[in-house]
Structure 1
């Protein structure tokens, strides 16, 4: 008979490969094993129990304990600590991840609210998600003030999970946080283009300029020479085809305009 699986108290999926909940108990370990976790982030006053360290060690899971006091009169977190936690959470090398505090409510909830802010959620939406895990269904004034005033200067790496700005930020300035994005990739001047190298493109440019210049009338006395061409005389089929290829190649060099967001 198959034994039942028991998720941790207040367990929920935050994003793909990111989960939250309360402090796991031994009967929850089989469930956590199904998540193929790389990291467990424990935000508790005391280190996790020995059984949890053994579970993590036996299954090649990185167990990270960050000391966070039990909530009393205020949020037991600082902006700097939450920012450092979020840097750990958004690193794809640490995912899949399970993040927990003692009861899966205040501490975990505040961290996830700040993650939502980094994801460009508005504060009311992040607050509604927070209240789903609160028994009274109402956010406290301290937690509301924390998310409203939360600030941290993030330095974003080149690799991001898909659920954070689709893995590729399209903005240069975050709407509510200080975010340093990696510089856009640059191409060397002599990078190969579909039309050839830099030297070949220069040859094409000189060539098309010569083609577009008005030809001088031939000084020969043979007025029937069909190669003598005036201003409006048509080009031959071979000349038109050659010029068309040249213009297409030069068009590849026209820089595209990318509006700044």
Structure 2
């Protein structure tokens, strides 16, 4: 018997390379984390059907990425935070709390949260999210270290540990996994 014919869409899918951004992972259903996406990552991001992207950095968003967002009708939340770099940089708890309000609103899902490398700023934010989910500090730090690799920042872990800002999220639109 003849092999089953391939449909055009199957051929296209098989030949299209899907490359996730650096340090990409699912945080929870509808929430993803990563490093800064580039043009090679755009087909992968399209497959996620993103509604929103949150960028955690003091820098402006690139024109190329902004054009991609506009073409794909993806909202952008710019959260201009500095990293916890000794001796002067420190993430603001209020900014993290404000960002978490957006992450905890299902109307913004699916959402990709990213910084430049997908390790430190995002690691702090996800650590704070995990505190809201009542994870143990051991599990939170294990997850942080998994993405930070050999560049663990004690200041990041201290930030997560002492984080206590109240997150005023909309319970009616909060995800079930919270």
Q: TM-score, normalised by structure 1?
A: 0.59
Find 2:137's aligned residue among 114, 120, 123.
123
Partner in structure 2 of residue 94 of structure 1: 108
Residues 45 and 70 of structure 1 are in contact (CA less than 8 Å); yes or no, is this contact kept in structure 2? no
Aligned partners of 1:44 and 1:148: how far apart in 2? 21
Corresponding residue SS for 2:48: coil
Corresponding residue SS for 1:154: coil
Aligned partners of 1:156 and 1:4: how far apart in 2? 37
* C-alpha RMSD of matched pairs (Å): 1.6
Residues 38 and 97 of structure 1 are in contact (CA less than 8 Å); yes or no, is this contact kept in structure 2? yes
Q: Do structure 1's residue 20 and structure 2's residue 26 form an aligned pair?
A: no
Q: Do structure 1's residue 43 and structure 2's residue 56 form an aligned pair?
A: yes
Aligned partners of 2:92 and 2:27: how far apart in 1? 22
Partner in structure 1 of residue 162 of structure 2: 149
Q: Do structure 1's residue 32 and structure 2's residue 45 form an aligned pair?
A: yes
Deviation at 1:70, TM superposition (A): 4.8
> Which 5+ residue runs of structure 1 have no aligned equivalent?
165-261
Bigger Rg, which one: 1
Residues 55 and 79 of structure 2 are in contact (CA less than 8 Å); yes or no, is this contact kept in structure 1? yes
Aligned partners of 2:130 and 2:66: how far apart in 1? 29
Give aligned pairs, total.
163
Residues 84 and 156 of structure 2 are in contact (CA less than 8 Å); yes or no, is this contact kept in structure 1? no
Query: Which 4+ stretches in 1 moved above 3 angstroms?
Result: none
Find 2:75's aligned residue among 55, 62, 65.
62
Partner in structure 1 of residue 85 of structure 2: 72
Q: Which has the higher contact order (CA 8 A, sep 6+)?
A: 2
Find 1:83's aligned residue among 87, 90, 97.
97
Q: Do structure 1's residue 135 and structure 2's residue 152 form an aligned pair?
A: no
Partner in structure 2 of residue 211 of structure 1: none
> Which 5+ residue runs of structure 2 have no aligned equivalent?
1-11
Q: Do structure 1's residue 112 and structure 2's residue 126 form an aligned pair?
A: yes
Q: TM-score, normalised by structure 2?
A: 0.86
